[in-house]
Amino acid sequence: MPGIGNDVVALHAINVDRTIQYRFYSKIIVNSEKLIYDQSLASFLPFEHFVWLAWSIKESAYKCLQRYQHDLVFSPSNTLIKQVQLPESRYESTTEGIGFDGVSVCKAVVNSGHHQLFSRSIITKDYIFSVVNDTDVFSKTCWNIKKIGSNDREEQSMAVREMLLHKLHELYPADQFKIEKSLFGFPVLLKNSTEADFPVSFAHHDHYAGYAFVPDN
Amino acid sequence: MTREEILDELKSVFAPYTTNKEMLANINDQTDLITDLKINSANLVDIIIDAEAKYNIEIDYDSADKMINVGSCVDVIAEKLKQK
């Protein structure tokens, strides 16, 4: 089963003053990542957005791997971003798709332990939405990011599940789907009462929620 | 400080980041910050920074990685206080 993980950061919910303090950002990025920012990204991306971009990539990488390594601990300092390629435009308006062709995305390579993972991130003025995959092929990745009315955690959780079920009904009209939660916290998709052959990933932060999955054939 | 005192004080550290006030009032070592207190993972660094400020300690990478439930938070803080 392939791995996938996603994350969203609502940018109006972050504390900019706190983020740019060394004491804060050094818990998320390490010196080599700060160097990547200073050398090639500083002209294009506010530092606080880079810090949260790194967070969203690392959190997505954790979700991608934790499904198969249940005892994995989320460790930003041990999840290292090696390359970052920013999009030409930061004002992407696409909020849903299959693959990222034609979408302005930030591409990155991230290492966690002996795993090399790949990410695509959409950075807008409102949010950063990342998807991490264990291959650099995202052409079949279904994703969606949506602003929802409530920032209540339970309502966010329900909203993103409804978004996914709606998409699955479009893709597989003859099948019944149900979403459960594993003992280890990640979502498990049941297709006609049997665990589906593809993992799904959910994320929500403040008023934004999104999912990612790679459907089977 | 005893573990019980640290645990009790941690309630004020967690309070800004959780809406689950009933769970917060009854936290114990096993209480998970994300699944039980419903704290968004994006706020975990805030909690570490707030704990550092409250106790005037520095929480390194490895210790921060352990702070996933109340008991591990108490352990890390108690250890750092002992080292002061």
- Tell me which of A6, A9, A16, A23 to substitute to probe the interface with B (most B C-beta atoms closer than 10 Å): A23
With a CB cutoff of 8 Å and minimum separation 6, the contacts of B13 are B47, B50, B51, B54
Average pLDDT, chain A: 93
Say if residue A56's pLDDT is above 70: yes
What integer pLDDT is reported at residue B51 of this predicted model? 96
Q: What residues 46-65 of chain A have any CB closer than 8 A to a CB of chain B?
A: 52, 55, 59
- Model confidence band, residue B35 (pLDDT cutoffs 50, 70, 90): confident
Residues of chain A with C-beta less than 8 angstroms from the C-beta of B41: 59, 74
Quote the ipTM score. Answer: 0.85
Q: Which of A19, A27, A112 has the most B C-beta neighbours within 10 Å, making it the best mutation to test the interface with B?
A: A27
pLDDT for A147 equals 95
**pLDDT value of position B19:** 87
Centre a 10 Å sphere on the Cβ of residue A190 and count the other Cβ atoms it contains.
13
B66 at A interface, C-beta within 8 A: yes
Q: What is the DSSP code string of A14-44? A: S-HHHHTSHHHHTTT--HHHHHHIIIIITTT
Whether A74 sits inside 8 A of B65 (CB atoms) is yes
| A36-54 tens-digit pLDDT | 999 999 999 999 999 999 9
For B42, the closest of A77, A152, A205 (CB atoms) is A205
Using a CB-CB cut-off of 8 Å, the residues of chain A touching B17 are none
pLDDT surpassing 90 at residue B84:
no
Domain ranges of chain A: 4-141, 147-213
- CB count within 10 Å of CB A98 equals 15
pLDDT bin (cut points 50, 70, 90) of residue A121 is: very high
Q: What is the mean pLDDT of chain B?
A: 93
Gap between the Cα atoms of B33 and B41, Å rounded: 9
What percent of chain A has a predicted confidence (pLDDT) above 90?
83
Confidence of residue A1 (pLDDT cuts 50, 70, 90): low
According to DSSP, residue A74 is labeled P
Considering only CB atoms, A185 lies closest to which of B35, B40, B46, namely B35
**Whole-structure pTM value:** 0.93
Confidence of residue A217 (pLDDT cuts 50, 70, 90): low
pLDDT of A178 above 70: yes
Domain A4-141 matching CATH 1.10.10.10: the answer reads no
Contact A69, A81 (CB under 8 A): no
Q: B3-83 sits in which CATH class?
A: mainly alpha
Range list of H helices, A138-203: 153-171
Main-chain phi, psi angles of B50, to 5 degrees: -65, -40
* C-beta atoms surrounding A77 within 10 Å: 17
Least CA distance to A56: which residue of chain B? B42
Which one, of A103, A136, A109, lies nearest residue A122 by Cα?
A103
Q: What percent of chain A has pLDDT over 70?
A: 98
- B61, B62, B63, B68: which to substitute to probe chain A, counting the most A Cβ within 10 Å? B61
Rounded to an integer, what distance in angstroms lies between the CA atom of residue A202 and that of residue A143? 10
The ranges assigned to domains in chain B are: 3-83
How confident is residue A199, by pLDDT bands cut at 50, 70 and 90? very high
pLDDT at A2 exceeding the cut of 90: no
Residue B43 burial (CB count, 10 A): 19
List, in order, residues 6 or more apart from B47 with CB less than 8 Å away.
Answer: B13, B14, B17, B33, B39, B67, B73
pLDDT beyond 90 at A88: no
Inspect the interface and report whether the beta carbons of B65 and A18 lie closer than 8 Å.
no
